[in-house]
Chain A
Amino acid sequence: VKIMPTLEGGLRVDAEDDSDWQLLMGIARDAVSSGEKLADRLGNLITDEDIAPDWREYIVPDLDEAFQSDLSKVSSVIAAARMEAAGGPGPLWITRDEALPWYSSLNQARLAIEDCFHFGPGERIDPTSLPPASRSAFLRSQFYCAIQSLLLDHVMR
């Protein structure tokens, strides 16, 4: 995958083959890979029993709907670009307007990976010491983090 800023203030992501498209489609897969939805995991942090029931009833569903909507937008963009490229080399555009759902989706994917694997701060991890499934998840998480950094530096400033 090659990623570069565009003159319009977005990012251009160039997939080189179908494995790159699979990697990009992994964002949505990873985002739902934790046993519990992100909105529920966040809701569980509210432990004050005066607040928790209302939080679960009103806030959690709203958050879940927003997070799902972001994932759905990003999944559609990736699926359409992949179809356009017939699974081969081709571009995918992240426009300035779409930056927030992309950032959200990448974050959801990273949080779900962290929830499953508990890597902690990335700079302390030696990926060569990890078993294959963990190594793959760690590297995907680092890839998502790199796109988030590009979004922050070039698109969401």
Chain B
Amino acid sequence: MKVFGYDEKKSSILMMQVHRQGRSIVWTGQREKAEFYTQQLQSHQLKTTLEKAG
């Protein structure tokens, strides 16, 4: 919610994806911004990585 500004409903859906499936794609877009978001999420101690979109 804090990093992306997602509302509570969307944040809960993503959280439950992580809980059930072990991972969730939380954002897709340009690489520079993806690096920034990854850093932000890791600073919140969330296990985050970035991958090239297929």
On A, residues with C-beta under 8 Å from B are 38, 42, 45-48, 51, 59, 63, 66-67, 104, 107-108, 111, 121
Question: How far is B49's CA from A51's CA once the two chains are assembled, in angstroms?
Answer: 11
The answer, yes or no, to whether B39 is at the interface (CB within 8 Å) is yes
Q: Give 10 A-B pairs besides A45-B48, A48-B52, A59-B39 with Cβ atoms closer than 8 angstroms.
A: A42-B45, A45-B42, A45-B47, A45-B49, A46-B49, A46-B50, A47-B49, A48-B50, A59-B42, A121-B19
Question: Any chain A CB within 8 A of the CB of B8?
Answer: no
By CB atoms of chain B within 10 A, which of A42, A48, A104, A111 has the most?
A: A42
Docked pose: A46 CA to B49 CA in angstroms: 5
Task: Name B's A-contacting residues (CB within 8 A).
Answer: 19, 35, 38-39, 42-43, 45, 47-52
Given A47-B49, A48-B52, CB of A42 within 8 Å of CB of B42: yes
Contacts of A45 in B (CB 8 A): 42, 47-49
Cα of A107 to Cα of B19 in the assembled complex, Å? 16
Chain B residues within 8 Å of A59, by CB: 39, 42
Chain B nearest CB, measured from A73 CB (Å):
16
Q: Are B35 and A42 neighbours in the complex by a CB distance under 8 Å?
A: no
Knowing A46-B38, A51-B35, A121-B19, say if A66 contacts B43 (CB, 8 Å).
yes
Q: Which residue of B lies closest to A108 (CB)?
A: B45
- Chain B residues, CB < 8 A from A67: 45
Which residues of A lie under 8 Å from residue B51 when comparing CB positions?
48
Whole-angstrom distance between the alpha carbons of A119 and B44 in the complex? 21
> Which B residues are CB-close (under 8 A) to A46?
38, 49-50
The answer for the CA separation of A111 and B46 in the assembled complex, in Å, is 10
Min Cβ gap A153→B in Å is: 14
